Amino acid sequence: MALIQEAYVHGVSTRSVDDLVKAMGAGGMSKSQVSRLCVEIDERVNAFLSRPLEGAWP
């Protein structure tokens, strides 16, 4: 999972991720599996970026 997330952050295409995963000795992943993981990453990043910055912070 971490390998796929890191590759996505660095701009590796979903097609190339399968080759990368196989080269690391793991089983292959379909483009749709990679795409779903990337959507989850985007959702988490967007939630972080749109969080409120108001309030008292230590």
Residue 6 covered by a domain: yes
Residue 43 covered by a domain: yes
Residue 54 covered by a domain: no
Contact 38, 14 (CB under 8 A): yes
Q: Domain range for residue 19? A: 2-47
CA distance 30 to 25: 15
Q: Provide the whole-model pTM.
A: 0.58
Residue 24 covered by a domain: yes
Residue 12 covered by a domain: yes
Residue 55 covered by a domain: no
Domain count, the chain: 1
State phi, psi for 22 to the nearest 5 degrees.
-65, -40
**Distance from chain centroid for Cα 34:** 8
- Residue-level pLDDT at 28: 67
Higher pLDDT pick, 12 / 31: 12
The predicted-structure confidence for 2-28, as pLDDT tens digits, reads as follows: 777 788 788 888 778 777 777 877 776
Cβ-in-10-Å burial (0-12, 13-18, 19+) of 4 comes to: buried
